[in-house]
Structures are given as structure tokens and as C-alpha cells.
Structure 1
Amino acid sequence: MTEDTRKKSFLGFDFSTQRLKALVIDEDYGILQEADVEFDVDLPEFRTSGGVRRGEQGEVTAPPLLWVKALDMVMDRLVVAGVDFSTIEALSGAAQQHGSVWWSKDAEARLSKLSPDEFLHTQLATAFVADSPVWMDSSTSADCIALEEAVGGPEVLAKLTGSTAYERFTGPQIRKMFRTKPRVYQAAPRISLVSSFACSLFLGRIAELDLSDASGMNLLDVHSKTWSEECLKACGDETLAEKLGAPVATATALGPVSEYFVRRYGFRPDCRVVAFTGDNSSALAGLRLRSGWVGLSLGTSDTLLLGLQEAGAPPAGHVLVGPTEAPYMALLCFANGSLTRQNHRDRLAGNSWDAFNELLRATVRGNMGYMGIYYDTAEIVPRAAPGRWVVEGAGRPVERPAPQFEARALLEGQAVARRAHAEDMGFELVESSRLIATGGASVNKELLQIFADVFNTPVYVQEQHANAALLGAAIRAAEVWSAKAGVTLAGSEPTVAPVATPYPDAEKIYKPMIARYREMLQNIPKLQQQTNTKTG
């Protein structure tokens, strides 16, 4: 068998909050094998709940050795699933964003001398000096305020780093460690994100942070793509830049897989390890968004992912360095998504989507001027308190509109909000624009038609794998390998199917509603405290 005809496959991992998942794809990007480890169930000795340990005053951590042992287990499960590791040309991964891993002084030496006869977790038991603060941690409000004040305020920080200060972001978390546990800070020669930590296990050395995940730390200047000296100084001391190391582009092959994996599992010695990134960045890659495309995940919360040519200063949401061809990516997470839709479906249509959709069909597009904002839970974008606000065409509040008007006001209001805030992040309609919908609610054709009309662009669905971050990890491994090898893979072109097309008069109807939505926001109570809700 020649090198050109030899079977090729690619491996992706997702180190998420509650489990570790692995996926093998072929050259057509078809799914070959999968395996997963659920932390609470499969590793009860770490005594986690939902993959984390909760402390006092909002502290939430996870032991990094949990993730190492989970990797031992998922690799064994891949063996049982029949994976031929000698066919894997490259691997990459995704991980929960914002978590930090604090390595011990001898950690890199241990990584470089792993014995293939022993598990990883037994050899790395002393490789960490602290448990890892993760994205659910909300104990750093004082550090967020101090960071913003150090650079000149939240707007300046957003312009510099792509986000105002958030408790879960790694910069404030490092500042808290530096302030409250100086011995831990001094004892750690290197600090990784969960993504680069996981990558290190495969490289046999401490891996570089990738730029996309690093831009979710409140430390990276997203314009120069280097660490901000002001932010580093506000969050640590003169050693912090060295502890973090210089970040690299997400599409970087960092080196061959370590000898440990070659000898223990039969990987090819030239199998490439591509930089791991954050789960949202990896999801963007998994959706394979092209210029002008917007990813629309319709889940418990709704998430918009879009590529940007320039980085602005978002009043809400986040701008990250792009993991794919676009220089930047925007991330907008709306807390009131499918769960809010379901709550009001139950109230208006007796637990039936068919009955709810009949209510929608009893009204016209534009809803005779009725508009609604429905926050069953505190909203992230914009930061706002729970409540329900419905107005009629003249802008007067309406207490109890007819069910059909309320049903359409709910869905049109959500879609209008998604477009308004996407525009704030730099979204512009172009001829190639389209929405790529995923998530549980993407099966609702009535909802997708409303999004098509409000965004005045076609809506497509991509039916390949439910976990876009995991699929994105394997796809990034494949695409970086193919670019370096000069080989075009059969699965590289995304396969999407159109499900909704805007009516010709859509922009005429909905553009004025976007302006009305912005006016309504002025009268909605704002949340003063920071939110610790996950990005994505």
C-alpha cells in the first residue's frame, strides 16, 4: 500500500465540564468511532458533582488529575471500540474555556519521560500545584473591578481584549491566585488553559496556548495578538508572561505525538498534534462557517457564532481571535433560548408544538405591530433582570395580548434580538450570508422561517454530529494536516441543506422592528452584578 492510498483518519477530543469525549473521523469526515468518560459516574473517587467541586463564596474548581485519568480511560475505550491508531495522521482537541492549570516545577520533565508501561495519571500525580479554577467560578468580582480600573475602565478593556472583565475569565482568576495564594502562584513555573494542558499530554511537553482560547482570558491584546503588558501587570508580576508562554495560531501543528502514545497505543511516530482550543472556537470550526455565514445554536441557551474581519469593543458578548480563516470571531450567548420558548409554549398551547405553530400561522409576519421581550431567567445579552415586556404597534404596553400575537411576539422578539446584537458585533448582510442552525430547536421549521425573515438570509442545517466542538476538533486536525501535506480531503466541503428562505419583503418588515427593539431595551431593568454564565 502506498502512502497516497493508505487509509487515513483523524482524532478529536473534547475535555468538557462533565465528560471527556473522543471521536475518530475518516477522510470523508464520516464518523468511525466514539468513546466518552463521564466524570461523576466513571471517576467517583474525585468526588465531583457535574464535573466540578464547589467551595465557598462562588469558588468552583476541578482537579486536573481527574482529566488525566479520564484520558487514560477514554484511550482504553477507543482501543475496545476498535480504533487503529496507526491510521491517525493528526489529532487535536477542544476544552471548556477559561479554566487554568497550574503545573509543578518538575511537570515538564515528567511529561518528557513517560513510561508506556504505566498509566498517565500514576506518573503525573504530582504534576500540579493546585486544583483548577473553571468557568463556573464566580469568586473574582473584586479582581474584575481592579483589572478594569487598571486599564481605564470596562470599555477600554473590551476594546483591548475583546471583552469586559468576567469573573470566569482566566486573567481575574490568575489575579485572585496571585493575591490570595502567593505560594501557589510562585510555585507554578507554567500556567495552562485546559485546552493547552490537554494538548501537553499528547505532546510530551507543556504546549503553547492557542490565540483563540487565549483571547478569552482578559489578558490578550486581540489586535496585536500578544499579551497586554497592562493586563499582565494588573493580574500578576513580572514572571506572568513567562508562565503563560507565547501563544500560537490555532491552526498550528505543534509537533509529533509523544513516544508514550506511539509505544503504548501504536500511533504513527509522525502523527501530528494540532493546537487544542476552546470549545466555542472549536464549534465554529465544526460548523465550518464561511465568510458571511453565522452559526446559530438553538439550545437551552441560544448562541450566535460569526467570523469578523475586525475586532470591535463589544458592549455585550465577546470578540475572540478567530480559529479559522476569519481574523476574529464573535460570540453571543443568550440565556433565554429553548427553555424559555418551551415555557411559553406550555402556557399558550398546552405542551404542544403543533398547537403553538398553529398560533403562529394565525398571525402575519410583523405581528400587527406586537413585539415582546421574554426573559424567564436573567439575560446575558444584554445583561438584564428577568421579566416580560409586550407592546403594541404604537409602543404602548399590553398586559394580555391574544395567544396568537403573544406566540409570534416571543419568537420574533428573540430573532430580532439575535440580529440586533449581532449587528453590534459587526454582522453585516452580504450576498453570501446564511445562517447555519444546529441544536434541538433547529428541527422547528416555523422558528427557522422567522430567523430567515428577520436576518433576511437563508437558513441551512448541518446534519453531521450533535457535538460541534468535538467534531470541530477532529476537523481541525484533518484540515491542518491536509494543508501541510498538500492533500485535499473528500470531506472538506461542508454539506448543508436549505430549510428556510426569507420572503422578498422581509427586510421592509423587520428592519424597523430592530430599531423598536433597541428602544424597548432602554426601559428594561439592567443587572448590575457580573454574570458567571458560560460563554457558549
Structure 2
Amino acid sequence: MARLALGIDSSTQSITAVAVEIDSRQKVFEKSIDYLADQSLKRFGIGPDYLLPPAGPGEAKQPAEMFFASLDALFGALAAEFPGLGLACGEIVAINVSGQQHGHVLLEARAGELFASLRQSPVPGPSLAGILGEGLALPFARIWRTSNTAAEAESVRRAVGGKEALIRLTGSDAPLRFSAFGIRRTALEHPEQYAKTVLIHQISSLIPAALTGRLDIPLDWGNACGTSLMDYRVRRWSPELAEAVAGDLPGGAEGLLEKLPPLASGRVIAGKIARYFVERYGFSPECLVGIGSGDNPQTKALTEGSLFSLGTSFVIMVETDGATFDLSGSTNAMYDSLDRPFTFGCRTNGALRWDEVRAWHGLAKGDYTPAELALEETPPGNYGRLLLWQSEAESFPVSKAFAPVRIGYDSGDLAADYAGIIESTLAAVYINARHHLGPGGLLYVSGGASKSPEIMRRTAAIFNRTLIPVEAGGAALGAAASGAAAWLLARGEKIIPGKFCASFLGRKRPVVPRPEDVEAYHGAGGYLEKFREAEERVIA
């Protein structure tokens, strides 16, 4: 009988499951359900942007019941499709969860009884949403796309002594999407419902609570980093931060602390799966459930070093010593789901700008061959030609949007423009992450651009380290791997968690930086020196 681990990623647009065979380290199943494509989920009222209709600019909410209903939809698909693959839900020995970071749900007193009812036999109702929905203090979850919390964030920043003091306490400045500021806004807008709230779960801990029928499971340190309520170094809820957030709210700071779940290592097991899932979908009653983590911590668990994702936006996750913070506020200190410290930076103006530059020259979105040939004809450093462009406001570094700026040339051909935008965006990430990147070491790279030899050549030289291109992993695979690791450790089996989780991610041939390319970027008067001067001038 196979030993399977299941990873679940509850994200902004979909819920995804990845099943892995623990002993062979092979992925055996993957399924994603789009909230808008599934009628049982679309009925909760989300629009084309996957949000509930906003009351004003910057509001980003999703229906909390949709997260429960999505579990039923996902497990229904598993139960239907597993037999055709020679698999069974009863072979799943461990489940772990990834949840979109910063999203949170407020629960009232009756929730404990309702969640516990999932452990009863026979099961108490036909659906999770029908059973658990009555325990919601408010029907929505504020999610990471929230940006209408500037006043709340600034009030907390001032209360703790300013930007640097907040970063030294939490590892981050006050990103508007972080949970503390959404909680404060919710309390100000809905004081009665906030006063009735007994527990505030992140989405990553709400799902395991439903899976186990136990409301009081812990929140892992990794996802707690996205709340602006945890003291990063000691990994405990901070009374000082609670006072800053809730001192003038119903119940005060002590009331907020009472509403927060306990904190624990991401390796902790929440408990056995609830009877509801055994009876409805055929899970083994001995299946164990992890406490879950955020999507970024679960993704990071798949690598033993730093990770650079070249997607629509560029995300860099750099392993750190856990004591060095970015006092500029451009990056956020976190822990991954294996409890390892790292810092997270996200550049909004990523691969979409590359697509748009190719479109200037008549190339379709997927037409990469002419662009790759143009890069082959252009040496690293692009003959000193730079193309800077931010069509959207940027957080890495924090700066306003600006129109395309060519430096060192006036009108460009494909080679000049394409090399120009690629090198400038890669340089922007490197310059703003370099204080965390120690000398040497490996940099794992994922995303579509990792298939381009010329882009990988430039990335290796700009970061001056060996690259390990990896296959698409994702948060669901990270959850499956970390869940398998937690299950093995709970059984007393000897593994090295980091190496074990990394073994689930396929690797490609390493890309070693060429000395002449490194000199072109890092040498005196080279590209990076010119880029720093240009960036300071353009974004000033």
C-alpha cells in the first residue's frame, strides 16, 4: 500500500491539491479548481476579480464560506478521480495546507461547537459551508490584496516608535496587506462583531481546523510573520504590537491577544482528520493533518538555499541568519514551514514588462525565439544601454510608476530593448536583495524564464552565483513535502527535513557565471554601477 501525502493550497483564485508518494518522492496527482469555473463556489458572489464587490477603493474581501465549500469540491474530485489512477483517499497518511498569506477570518463563540461536530458520527450535515458557516463572526475574509489600510498601518507604526522600531520588532515595515491592519479596520467598521469574536484564524490555519474539527490549533511562526503582531526574534505574540493595534478597540490589547491562536513550529501536527472526511470521502481515520503555513513559506520549503521566482511578478526569498533585517522596509522577514528564516521581496514589474517590450517589436506573448536570438547577439551589459520601466507602482524598491526610459541610446531595436529591460529588472532585484545575499552559495530559479539560456546566463552573472533552475513547484507541492516530513518525524523516522523536502523538486543543469560576464556587470564602471546611478536618478 502506497504512503501518500496531500498538499492543499487555498489561494486567491483556486484551490489546488498535489499528492506525492512519500517513499519514491514522486508527484502522483494534481488537481486545481478555479473558484469562478465551479458553480458550487461561484455562487458565493465573487466577481471577475475573485473578490466580493468592494465598498470602496482598496477593499479586498472574499467569502469565508467559499473556503469551506472549496474543500468539499476538491475532495469530491479526489474521490472521483483517484480510483482511475489506481489510488485511494485511504492511502493518504498526511495532509498539510498552504493558505494565501495575510487572509484572515473572524469566528464567534459557537464556532468551537460547530467545528467539533465534524468529529461526530454520523456527520451532522451535507456540506462544510452549511455546518461551519454559522460560526463566522463576519461573512468575509480580508485578503492580501487589501490596500485601504494606510491609516491603520501608520497609526501602528507611530505607536511603536516609527518605521525602524517596527522593522526591528516584526522584521517588516507596515505593508498594507498584513493582517494586523485589516483586523484593526474591521474592528473599527464592525465593533459589535469584533467584540463577539473569540478567535481570528489565518486561512492557512482555518483549513486545518476544519480538517481536524479542532478550532484551537496553532498558527505557525512562518505565517504569523505576515500579521505584524509577532515579535520575530522570540516568535511570540507581542503585547506592544497588540497595544498599538487594539489599545483603543473593544477589549483592548488583552482582548486581541485572547483572540489569536497559539504559535508553534510549522512542523507540528494538528491532529487526526475529522470523521466528516472519513465518512464522505474515504480518508483513513489515522490520517494526520499539519497546522499549515502561508503560500510563500510552503514554497520556500522546497529549496535548501535562496529561491528566485521569475513569474508575472518577481519574488526572491533569501535565506538569512534570522537576526539581520532590511531597515529600508523593502523586504519582509519570515520563516518557512520548516522554521528556517528567510527574507521575502516582491518586484511587481516583472515578466509582464518583458512581454510588453517584445510586443513593441511585433512579437506575440509566447513568441520567444526571435527574442532569444536577439539576446544571443547582444553581450551581457548590452553595450551600456539601459531600459528602465515601471508601469505599476513598485515595492521593491518602493517607488512610483514611470514611463519607459532609455539610457545610452535613443530608439531601440529588439536586441537593445529586450536586453535592456531584462537586465534592468534583474539588476533591480539584485541591488535590493544583495545585503542579504552572502558571497557564493546557490540560487534556485523557477518560472518560465528559467528555460531561457540567455536569461539564465545574465541572472548568474548579475547575482554572481551558480543557479539551479528547478521545475515548477508551488505552494501545494511544498505543503505536501512539508506534511510528509512532519508525518515521518512524528513516527520517529530519521530524516533531514530540508534535504527531504528539496528532493521532491526536479532540478536542471546548474548555470555557472562566466568570469567575463561577472566583470561586465560588477567591474569598475560596469553595468551595475551605471544602473544604480540611473535608478536613483529616475525614481528620485
Could you say whether these structures have the same fold, taking a TM-score greater than 0.5 normalized by the shorter chain as the test?
yes
Bigger mean CA deviation after superposition, 29-38 or 338-347: 29-38
Q: Which residue of 2 aligns with 1:121?
A: 129
* Residues 357-412 of structure 1 deviation map (CA, whole Å, 9 limit, x = unaligned): 333223222223233322232222112222333334xxxxx433555333322222
Deviation string 1:259-284 (CA, Å, 9 cap, x unpaired) is 33233333333322111111111111
How many Å separate the matches in 2 of 1:508 and 1:151? 44
Unaligned stretches of 5+ residues in structure 1:
1-5, 393-397, 527-536
After TM superposition, the structure 1 = structure 2 runs for residues 318-357 of structure 1, keeping only pairs within 5 Å, are 318-324=331-337, 327-348=340-361, 350-351=363-364, 352-357=367-372
Distance, in Å, in 1 between the alignment partners of 2:465 and 2:292 is: 32
Q: Which amino acid aligns with 1:524?
A: V
Counterpart in the other structure of 1:406: 417
Residue 249 of structure 2 corresponds to which residue in structure 1? none
The CA distance in 2 between the partners of 1:124 and 1:448, in whole Å, is 48
Q: Distance in 2 between matches of 1:454 and 1:317?
A: 20
Range with greater deviation from structure 2 (164-173 or 48-57): 48-57
Contact 1:196 1:275 in 2 (8 A): yes
| Superposition pairs of residues 146-295 of structure 1, within 5 angstroms | 146-206=155-215, 207-236=217-246, 237=252, 238-285=254-301, 288-290=302-304, 293-295=305-307
1:498 partner letter = R
> Which residue in 2 is equivalent to 1:139?
148
Q: Tell me, in whole angstroms, the C-alpha distance in 2 between the residues paired with 1:277 and 1:70.
A: 18
| Partner amino acid, structure 1, of 2:480 | A
Measure, in 1, the Cα distance between the counterparts of 2:235 and 2:259: 17
Among 463, 466, 482, the residue aligned to 1:455: 463
Q: Is the 8 A contact 2:11 2:99 kept in 1?
A: yes
Q: Aligned partners of 1:35, 1:404: CA distance in 2, in Å?
A: 40
SS at structure 2 position matched to 1:215:
helix
Check the 8 A contact 1:320/1:330 in 2, yes or no: yes
Compared with structure 1, are the counterparts of its residues 502 and 256 closer, same or farther at alpha carbon in structure 2 (3 Å cutoff)? same
Q: CA RMSD in A?
A: 2.1
Alignment partner of 1:442 is 2:450: yes
Name 2:514's counterpart in structure 1: 503
Partner amino acid for 2:69?
A: K
Q: Residue in 2 aligned with 1:37? A: 33
Where does residue 14 of structure 1 map in the other structure?
A: 9
Q: CA deviation at 1:132?
A: 1.2
- Partner of residue 528, structure 2: 514
Distance 1:405 1:316, change over 3 A: farther
Give CA deviations for 1:76-133 in whole Å, capped at 9, x if unaligned.
Answer: 1110012522221211010111111011211011111225263222211201011111
How many corresponding residue pairs? 507
SS of residue matched to 2:134:
coil
* Distance across 1 between alignment mates of 2:93 and 2:490: 11
User: Shift of the alpha carbon at 1:318?
Assistant: 3.2
Distance 1:276 1:240, change over 3 A: same
Q: Distance in 1 between matches of 2:453 and 2:519?
A: 22
Is the CA contact 2:334–2:344 (under 8 Å) kept in the aligned structure 1? no
| Residue in 2 that maps onto 1:68 | 68
3-state DSSP of counterpart to 2:434? helix
Query: Aligned partners of 1:404, 1:260: CA distance in 2, in Å?
Result: 59
Post-superposition CA distance 1:142-165 (Å, at most 9, x none): 101101111111222122112111
Partners of 2:124 and 2:230 in 1: CA distance: 40
What is the alpha-carbon distance in structure 2 between the residues aligned to residue 506 and residue 46 of structure 1?
A: 53
Which residue is 2:104 aligned to? Answer: 100
Indicate which of 361, 377, 391 corresponds to 1:362.
Answer: 377
Partners in 2 of 1:146 and 1:195 — Cα distance? 27
Q: Distance in 1 between matches of 2:372 and 2:78?
A: 43
In 1: Cα distance, 2:268 partner to 2:314 partner = 30
Percent identity (aligned): 26
Q: Deviations over 1:235-264 (max 9, x none)?
A: 122211110022111121122222332333
Structure 2: segments with no counterpart, 5+ residues: 247-251
Q: CA deviation at 1:316?
A: 4.0
Distance 2:283 2:61 in 1: 33
Distance in 2 (CA, whole Å) between partners of 1:132 and 1:495 is 35
Task: Tell me, in whole angstroms, the C-alpha distance in 2 between the residues paired with 1:344 and 1:492.
Answer: 35
Q: 1:347 to 1:51 in 2, by over 3 A?
A: closer
Checking the alignment, whether the CA contact within 8 Å between 1:379 and 1:386 is kept in structure 2 is no
Distance 2:340 2:42 in 1: 42
- Code of the residue aligned with 1:31 in structure 2: it is K
What residue is the counterpart of 2:315 in the other structure? 303
Question: Which of 399, 405, 408 is the matching residue for 1:389?
Answer: 405
CA drift of 1:325 comes to: 5.1
Are 1:8 and 1:87, in contact at CA under 8 Å, matched by a contact in 2?
yes
